A = this chain, B = another copy of it.
C-alpha cells in the first residue's frame, strides 16, 4: 500500500483536484466525476528528482498529478537548463495529442509526487492512444467523453506556453517574476489550493531561475525587490500576493479565459 497521506491530503479526496481541474474547463457529468474519483485506486508516488516521463519513452503512460509539483524541462549539452512548464496537482502528464513526443523534453518531480495512472486497458485511452488512428481511422476513441476536457486542457497549456514565451522574450526579470506568481496563484485557485492570496510554492530559487531564464542570484534579488516594495510576502515556500492589481499591471498579466462555466 502506498503512503496513506501525501501532502496532508487523504487518498480519498486526492482525486478531487483532478475533478476541479477538469470541471473548470467543462462541466462533468456525475458519471464522469465518479470515474475520476475511482482513479484513487491506482496511485503511485515518486520521490523528488525522479523522472516521470522521458523523451524516448515510447509507451508513455498518461496520468494525472494528484499532489506535489513537477516540471517539464530540457537540458542543454553544457548543463544549462530550461523549464517549459511547472506541473501542479490536477495537471495531466503525457496526454500528448500525438504518441511520439518528438520534442526532447523530460518531466521531473520537484517534490514528492502522487500520480494516478488510469487503467487504459479498457476503452484504450482518453484521447487517442498510440494507435488511435490504426484502430479507429479518422477518429479518436473516447468512451467516457473526456476528449473535450483534454482538448481544452491542451489549449490552456498552449496559452501558458505562449505566456512563457512572452515572459522570456520581452519581459524584465521583475515583470517575469510577478507574472509567474500571478499565474501560479491563478492555477492553484482553480484546484482549490490557494486560499485568498496565499499559496504554497515548494520551489527552490534555482528552479525559479531555470524557469524564468535568469540566474539564481538575480531571482533572489528580484524577489527581494518585490518584497521590499511590499507587493508580495515570501517566507520558506509560503507566498502571499499583497497587491494583486498592481502586480497584474507590472506583469501585464491576464488570466486565461475559460469557457462560461462560471
Q: In the complex, what residues of B have CB within 8 A of residue A195's CB?
A: none
A-B contact list, 27 entries, CB within 8 Å: A74-B166, A76-B166, A81-B170, A82-B165, A82-B166, A82-B169, A84-B165, A96-B155, A97-B97, A97-B155, A98-B151, A98-B152, A98-B155, A100-B259, A102-B155, A102-B156, A102-B158, A102-B159, A103-B155, A103-B162, A105-B162, A133-B147, A138-B142, A139-B139, A158-B161, A161-B161, A168-B213
A97's partner among B143, B151, B159 (CB-CB below 8 A) is B151
18 further A-B contacts with Cβ under 8 Å, apart from A105-B162, A139-B142, are A74-B162, A76-B170, A76-B171, A81-B170, A82-B169, A84-B162, A97-B151, A97-B154, A97-B155, A98-B151, A100-B257, A103-B163, A138-B142, A139-B147, A140-B147, A158-B161, A165-B165, A169-B213
A103 CB to closest chain B CB (Å) equals: 4
Residues of B within 8 A of A165 (CB): 82, 84, 161, 164-165, 168
Interface status of A59 (Cβ within 8 A of chain B): no
Q: How large is the interface on A (under 10, 10 to 19, 20 to 34, 35 or more residues)?
A: 35 or more
Pick the most buried of A76, A80, A151, A165: most chain B CB atoms within 10 A of its CB: A165
Q: Does A48 contact B (CB under 8 A)?
A: no
Chain B residues near A158 (CB, 8 Å)?
Answer: 102-103, 158, 161
In the complex, what residues of B have CB within 8 A of residue A81's CB?
170
Q: A82-B170, A97-B97 are in contact. Are A102 and B257 (CB under 8 A)?
A: yes
Q: Which residues of B contact A41 (CB under 8 A)?
A: none
